[in-house]
Structure 1
């Protein structure tokens, strides 16, 4: 490929979209304008020559009627435009019968063929002796003769030439207008894209997703007028809203995690510093500090693991399998009984054949979090009722219940109700349970149970 071709290809690749759209729109309108002008030129040219042919035909008919018995030779020698009779002459098929006087119009072999009937009448353009253009009709005269009739065509040629110049000027003006219209169309049509690009560049520079693209207003009282670019801008605004929520949630998670980690890390440091001076402590003090350090390490480990789990958006698809909930629920309840010996767990399995596509370990974590939460708030000896029915799993305790003001926030990360401040936990268990539920297509909701206590309902997806 030559350097010129490479330069042209590179220029075409790097042309802005507005330039390409302007050129495409201008080329389309210019092509139409030039096509219309060309069609108009050929129509005008055809009509002018068609009218001249009609005049020649009328002149020939009149000459035949007025000179039925005339011999070969010139009938009329004054050739004017739209005159009758026009230049006219009779030519015999046999050249030996030609008159002594020279013919006014050119005689050729096709003229003799028309006289004998071997050729159809025809029109042709000629130049007269005085240099003027003319149009000639050769037609049979009868008696082995042909009739030639001519009319000057300079006026027709001037009309065709004037039409050509006029339509060329109109076509040029159409091309310029097309260029202007193409630029206007590209500028107007790409204005939303320009705003979208500006917003995207501003967000990339400032890392602030709170900006939105201004959508075109609709009619008063009516919806926003939508087209492809408007829908793109609306989709981009929706994406920015989701991004803003994600960034806000991430910042809140980091802030809450740092706040929750501050207390156990401070206690860890205190106990570690205390054990560093173990020679000054009694054996009982060392055992107490060592036990506290171990508990705090476990709390921090659980908290970090919970944060890692919450950072996962969805379960990995390759690990999904059809999980039978009844055996999984029974196993998880048995583990809860061992962990909470003072709390009786009542299990009711109305539909033991329920299955759910998912990850068994994650579903077990969801159920375990619900059971731990119910046992934590249940008074000693109060039962925790667990039921698996068609389409739902419920966990109900008989504790103090959920305050009306706390219901909208029980699944928020690190949220802890007033009565839960003194209880162990990080406030991540229910948030993690809801996230696992949604990752499996289910929905977890909290309610105030009739007669007291809290009720958590896991609505399973319809198979």
Structure 2
């Protein structure tokens, strides 16, 4: 049953749940109403039986010349008794179980309880209320003692038919059943209407999702009305599709830019290799100097391709913050020192001066070192031979890399951290335009900031800020030294 309900549409399930809830409420109210009415009718019937005694002229001592069990045709054998109650049957009950007619059509069945009450002496005033079925008719019977018949104790039973209670209860049960059934049907219809109106925004959202899944059109937006949960869901969905559209656009742009950047070195590499291959096929060897230049160009282009592929792999990683398990407390001054040593080997014609104060940060070590190397490579690339690059790490975690090159025009500064962006004046220099974008992303993931600005007196200054402390957490210094030293080796 549960699996069948689970396969129903959400609208039908809401209507069914509404109808079920209303049905339970109506059923509980109907049962309570029926029980209260039954108790009230029974109490009223019992009061009417007690009032019979108060209004009767039944003598306490009866002397009888005979006893019959139904109305005599020629009048009563017992003294006439007036009970002043319609539909009331009265009879004398003897201790041996004999019933003597007093009023009504005939006597009713005497129970053991009636006999026990009748046998009690007058001084022990007693009564009992109970139900008796006699000749197919149910009676509500009240038996009391205190009557003397021929010198023997006896009792009087006064009874009224239970149909005075059961007939109205049957009618009430029928009315309640009809009202409950109508209420359930009405509740189901109302629940269906409410579900249809309430789920209309969800239906629009569903159609939009299905349209996006079918067409991959992320430009579709859901109209938002109000501030309820559905409106919040619609806003969140619109924000999600906008983020997906932006991500898709960036991915497409990355692929297009990567293809454009790869085309130039690949074309040059293919041309050089074809020249070498044609020389081998034709048997006409190239001059040694020209052959050495071609091989050197091929090597440089392959190195450029390898660097570009490495940058693309770095950018292919998610832009979100890295896993906390990948973050370590590292010494930024030692990472900067290692980066300086690596760049000095690649650019011996530029003098790199470093002043590094201790500063410890929480970051991904390899990514942070690559970011610092990229800053130094960018500074060296635009530095004339014989000039210097100044690297300063202050006590506040501020890393400055300053060169003495031509500098960057003010109009180009906002674009320096964009992927594949290259200054028009630097298009002839090696590089892919990805280094600074990798720096920006790495620093952002570590909770810091980076900027490039024109330096006073010429050149460009890169300023990197990372939150941290001048000393590592207690107990972690040896571990940090071991990790940094191991990677340095």
Q: Residues 41-52 of structure 1 correspond to what in structure 2 (within 5 A)?
A: 41-52=34-45
Cα distance in 2 for partners of 1:67, 1:244 equals: 100
Which position in structure 2 is the counterpart of 1:113?
116
Which position in structure 2 is the counterpart of 1:376?
381
Check the 8 A contact 1:411/1:430 in 2, yes or no: yes
User: C-alpha root-mean-square deviation of aligned residues, in Å?
Assistant: 3.3
Structure 2 stretches of 5 or more lacking a match? 64-77, 470-489
Which position in structure 2 is the counterpart of 1:324?
331
Deviates further, 405-414 or 243-252: 405-414
Residue 56 and residue 462 in structure 1: after superposition, are their counterparts in 2 closer, same or farther (change >3 A)? farther
Q: Residues 6-405 of structure 1 correspond to what in structure 2 (within 5 A)?
A: 11=4, 14-63=7-56, 66-71=57-62, 75-76=81-82, 80=86, 86-93=88-95, 104-115=107-118, 116=120, 120-124=127-131, 126=133, 134-141=139-146, 144-215=153-224, 217-218=225-226, 224-225=227-228, 227=229, 229-278=230-279, 279=284, 281-313=286-318, 320-350=327-357, 352-359=358-365, 361-380=366-385, 381-405=387-411
1:59 Cα deviation from its structure 2 partner: 2.0
Check the 8 A contact 1:75/1:87 in 2, yes or no: no
Cα distance in 1 for partners of 2:188, 2:132 equals: 41
1:304 Cα deviation from its structure 2 partner: 1.6
Query: How many residues end up aligned between the 2 structures?
Result: 437
Residue 168 and residue 234 in structure 1: after superposition, are their counterparts in 2 closer, same or farther (change >3 A)? same
Cα distance in 1 for partners of 2:454, 2:155 equals: 115
Secondary structure of the structure 2 residue equivalent to 1:51 = helix
Secondary structure of the structure 2 residue equivalent to 1:341 = coil
Structure 1 stretches of 5 or more lacking a match? 1-7, 219-223
1:427 Cα deviation from its structure 2 partner: 0.6
Q: Does 1:425 align with 2:442?
A: no
Cα distance in 1 for partners of 2:405, 2:389 equals: 9
Check the 8 A contact 1:113/1:119 in 2, yes or no: no
Cα distance in 2 for partners of 1:406, 1:140 equals: 118
Deviates further, 425-434 or 263-272: 263-272
1:302 Cα deviation from its structure 2 partner: 1.3
Cα distance in 1 for partners of 2:463, 2:147 equals: 111
Secondary structure of the structure 1 residue equivalent to 2:62 = coil
Check the 8 A contact 1:37/1:170 in 2, yes or no: no
Secondary structure of the structure 2 residue equivalent to 1:415 = coil
1:176 Cα deviation from its structure 2 partner: 0.8
CA-to-aligned-CA distance 1:8-31 (integer Å, 9 cap, x gap)? 686456444444333333222222
CA-to-aligned-CA distance 1:67-121 (integer Å, 9 cap, x gap)? 353427673478625xxxx43344344658x769896343332112223269752
1:232 Cα deviation from its structure 2 partner: 4.0
Deviates further, 392-401 or 201-210: 392-401
User: TM-score w.r.t. structure 1 length?
Assistant: 0.82
Residue 355 and residue 15 in structure 1: after superposition, are their counterparts in 2 closer, same or farther (change >3 A)? same
CA-to-aligned-CA distance 1:34-55 (integer Å, 9 cap, x gap)? 2222222222222222222222
User: TM-score w.r.t. structure 2 length?
Assistant: 0.78
Which position in structure 2 is the counterpart of 1:410?
416
Check the 8 A contact 2:126/2:144 in 1, yes or no: no
Which position in structure 2 is the counterpart of 1:221?
none
